[in-house]
Amino acid sequence: MYAFSRTVSITGRGCLPWANAAESAAMSADINPQEYAAFRDFLEHVSGIVLGENKQYLVNSRLRSLLGELGIKSVGELLGMMDRSSGVQLRQRVIDAMTTHETLWFRDQYPFEALKRMILPELTKADLPTLRIWSAACASGQEPYSISMICEEFRLEYPRRPLGTVQILATDISPTILQLAREGVYDSIALGRGLTQDRRERFFITENDKAKIKPAMMRQVTFRELNLMQPFKSLGKFHVIFCRNVMIYFSDQLKVDILGRIAEVLEPNGYLFLGGSESITRYCDRFEVSRAHGGMVFRLKS
């Protein structure tokens, strides 16, 4: 998500659909303005997430369970505890609580179709021994595993275009969600979100109401904890980067910084996918826009 791929709720959009204005006001009353301002500063500092005005109800609802579990009476007390040297684990739990890892398989379709029909055919012309793809803010793994499936489908559909070794790096700020992603096991609800029956049968091993990604798909994906606010040049170079539905939660300054650093780790003429509502124009001039199967992909300028 940085931190969370496909998180739809940090701005309050799609979150708490049951909360009417009166309920929201009641929840907001539990956090005073000073506590809310301090918590906003904390969250932006550690994760890059910028909370809007008057989102006290969101903070309250997300943290209620954690505060109750730990017997903490207020957000102010929570902030004080996280300031101590022993508060590292608590800080991570707060970040986990404030980020909803909302994702699905083959989200928006067009990036995956563009990868299979446009980008992979082009890259195979270069006869690359290794193709490197980065899924930033991968959440519970649906995006990198979808990419892995696409690469396998490409091999089957284009046998005369050898793809070589595929390395997919999947990163997220949350070690908790990354552990779930590494296991590659999904319940029936998660499996029903964007995954066709054909792909489920080809790429999963089913047991009762759960299914596990097949080993061949898992071997192409490596998971690693990473905060996008931190340096990532050590990750190496990539031919394709997916950083989707993430930067909408960041400040303009942080968007400029991250996009500039993404450009540095892309191979010449490499591709970047952003979310459908995310723009690059105001923040970085190192990319050109290409239409791609009903959407847009950004290509690093030569």
Burial class (CB in 10 A: 0-12, 13-18, 19+), 226: buried
Q: Which residues pair with 169 in a beta bridge?
A: 134, 222
What's the predicted TM-score (pTM) here? 0.86
Q: Which residues pair with 221 in a beta bridge?
A: 168
- Let me know: does 184 contact 218? Beta carbons within 8 Å: yes
- What are the structure tokens assigned to 26, written together? 């009641």
- Let me know: does 170 contact 224? Beta carbons within 8 Å: yes
Rounded to 5°, the CA angle 242-229-218 comes to: 40
- What are the structure tokens assigned to 125, written together? 């012309």
Neighbours of 278 (CB within 10 A): 17
**One digit per residue, pLDDT tens: the chain, 302 residues?**
333 333 333 333 233 332 344 333 333 347 889 999 999 999 999 999 999 888 898 899 899 999 999 999 999 999 988 877 566 888 889 988 887 666 899 999 999 999 999 999 999 999 999 999 999 999 999 999 999 999 999 999 999 888 999 999 999 999 989 999 999 999 999 999 999 999 999 999 998 889 999 999 999 999 999 999 999 999 999 999 999 999 988 999 999 999 999 999 999 999 999 998 898 989 999 999 999 888 999 999 98
- Let me know: does 229 contact 2? Beta carbons within 8 Å: yes
Which residues neighbour 28 within 8 Å (Cβ) at sequence distance 6 or greater? 54, 56, 57, 60
Q: State the Cα–Cα distance between residues 230 and 136, nearest whole angstrom.
A: 13
